Amino acid sequence: MNTIRLDGCSLTRSDVVAVARGASVQLDAGALKAVQRSADFLIEQVSRQEPIYGVSTGFGSNADRLLGAHRLRGDQAGAAPLHEELQENLITSHAVCVGEPFPIDVVRAMLVIRINTLMRGHSGVRVSTLQAYAAMLNAGVVPVVPRLGSVGASGDLAPLSHLAIVLLGAGEAFFEGQRMSGAEALKRAGLSPIRLSYKEGLALNNGTAQMLATAVLCAERLDRLVDLADRCAAMTVDAFAGRVRAFDPHVHALRPHPGQVASAARLRELLAGSTLADIPYHLVPRAKSWLPSSWPNAHLAELRFDISWEWVPADQRHGRERFYERFRPFKGGKKHQPQDSYSLRCAPQVHGAVRDALAQLQRVIDVELNAVTDNPLIFPDLEGAKNIEDQVVSAGHFHGMPIALAMSYVKAAIPVLASISERRLNKLVDPATNDGLPAFLIGNEDATDSGYMIVQYTAAAIVNDLASRAHPATVYSIPTSANAEDHVSMGANEGRHVLDMSGDLAKVLALELATAAQALDFRRDMINAARQLARESDLATFVSKISNAPPEAHPQRAQFLAEADALRAELASAPEFAPGREVASLHAALRERIAFMAKDRALDGDVAAAVAFVDEWLLA
């Protein structure tokens, strides 16, 4: 794995993801000089008996209490100095999270973010403390951090205390796949516990690392998921033999939201080379239940569907003459209308809005990754400083609202993306809306098969669950610390929700992908079967696929035969019909895991394979 250099100023989202997945870190020597300068400044000020919040005072509602020179109950043998006890008590008393532990990648992301912000040299930690943190990360010691306990201001106090407590030889950690005490994990890794000095406890647990870590990992996952949503939509468009002019660049130039423009461009790329999209209406047959007599041709005898068209008689074309000059007078699977439903036609607008929400989160993350988020802030070399209050400033950079609100935006976007995906899936399985595909995407010649019907139920259940969880946590501030912290962000809950919800979004997209692949096989095979029939059969055999052919003595019989022969000739001369090149590639990759379903089979394995396919694709 790569080694990521940390200097407090240049950490990127991709760096965090790399460390989360196992990369090591290296501390920049130049940045460590600023770190040491800040620590030396604190020692100097303490020696002058300057009152400094969190150094010579208590924390939070105890900020008005100054540390004395000795213990009121008298010095206890072997007891740490008060300033050390203050910092260590801060960590040990604040490590109170509950629930299941965060995954290892989230905790590693938290560690690298915390180390990087302390590298800026405005927090007062010693070089040796940061080196101990980096050594713990590089050795693979991963603190156990339960999921619940942060209100997002003063930063992620409780979860960051679970990170720091392992440095002290306490708490719990994972090491080499096992959960054990922090002391044992350090011992097995060849590391020793440390003692904290001035302000170090406050520096280690006062910041936004948990919510930021979840935001980074979620943003990385969502970036891939939005692209996957475009791919799913493209496959569904091909399965519908849909219309692509709604994705044209000159169309989106009139409403140039960046995400919308990007999604439209991506859909054009994915559908490039498709001979299914924008196919003339009359070439698309409608599925019909298979019978033993359906296909006299040897090449088509194994098909599990039949096809049909309906002829439009001349006396039913009044007012539509111009239309039938362009299209032959046959109705098959495609409705005679110039636009697809919203879930197809508006994919750029919906997917693009999600892209824009994600872009806002990414912008906030990029600022936050190299920001200083603890308190107070130390400016040892500030020009024009007149007193200690100018150089040690209590501010509010620990407040997580910038991240929290950006994640609220994304949180609302996730069920939107899942919902439009489920609507496309539903259109594919519903015979009233799937433009001539078999009901529930199964031949069902014996009336015993349900096909993909219940897959849509699962997608609907997940979408409903996502919508129920989309309410922003940020709007519910609950004061803490005896009202000293009277407005908090709840950004940690927001980040945890968003990270979990992104996993469920992936499942919905996996279900659409599997369903669209089944539909695409049917659509391609139905049209190519019509093409093959036209090439191999005489007109009488071809006419048998037209459900309302006029009888021999009918006055419009000759016109019908001429028009049917023209349809047959057009199909016979057409090249083989296929989806877009990138859609075909994705379809082929999925088909390596999930075979086309000709008859009902246990679908749980297929669903699990589709979800695994998406999960692996997200990590590729």
C-alpha 21: how far from chain center: 17
Burial of 116 (0-12, 13-18, 19+ CB in 10 A): buried
Tell me the two tokens of residue 37: 């300068």
HSE toward the beta carbon, residue 406, CA cutoff 13 A: 24
HSE toward the beta carbon, residue 270, CA cutoff 13 A: 24
Peptide bond just before 61 cis, omega within 30 deg? no
Tell me the two tokens of residue 301: 């005898």
Burial of 157 (0-12, 13-18, 19+ CB in 10 A): buried
C-alpha 579: how far from chain center: 26
Cα–Cα distance for residue pair 512/552, rounded to 1 Å: 46
Cα–Cα distance for residue pair 88/200, rounded to 1 Å: 9
Peptide bond just before 143 cis, omega within 30 deg? no
DSSP 121: S
Cα–Cα distance for residue pair 128/367, rounded to 1 Å: 27
Contact partners, residue 394, CB within 8 Å, separation at least 6: 53, 375, 376, 377
Using only the alpha carbons of the chain, give its radius of gyration. Answer: 32
Is 53 known to be catalytic? yes
Alpha-helix residue ranges (DSSP H) falling in 369-490: 388-391, 401-429, 453-469
Q: What angle do CA 509, 515, 516 make, to 5 degrees?
A: 85
Q: Which of 38, 163, 141, 148 is nearest to 91 (CA)?
A: 163
Q: Which of 139, 88, 144, 134 is nearest to 111 (CA)?
A: 134
Cα–Cα distance for residue pair 418/413, rounded to 1 Å: 9
Q: What is the distance between the terminal CA atoms of the chain, rounded to a whole angstrom?
A: 15
Tell me the two tokens of residue 475: 């709007």
Instruction: Tell me if 492 sits within 8 A of 210, measured CB to CB.
Output: yes
**Cα 226 to Cα 267, 354, 421, 502, 579, distances in angstroms:** 12, 8, 11, 11, 21
Please report the sign of the dihedral spanned by the C-alpha atoms of residue 287, residue 293, residue 297, residue 301.
Answer: positive
| Helix (H) / strand (E) containing 191 | none
DSSP 75: P
Of residues 53, 198, 281, 409, which has the active-site annotation? Answer: 53
In residues, how long is the chain? 620
Strand partners, 101: 146
Instruction: Tell me if 456 sits within 8 A of 433, measured CB to CB.
Output: no
Strand partners, 4: 25
Cα–Cα distance for residue pair 578/386, rounded to 1 Å: 75
Strand partners, 5: 26
Q: What positions carry a catalytic annotation?
A: 53
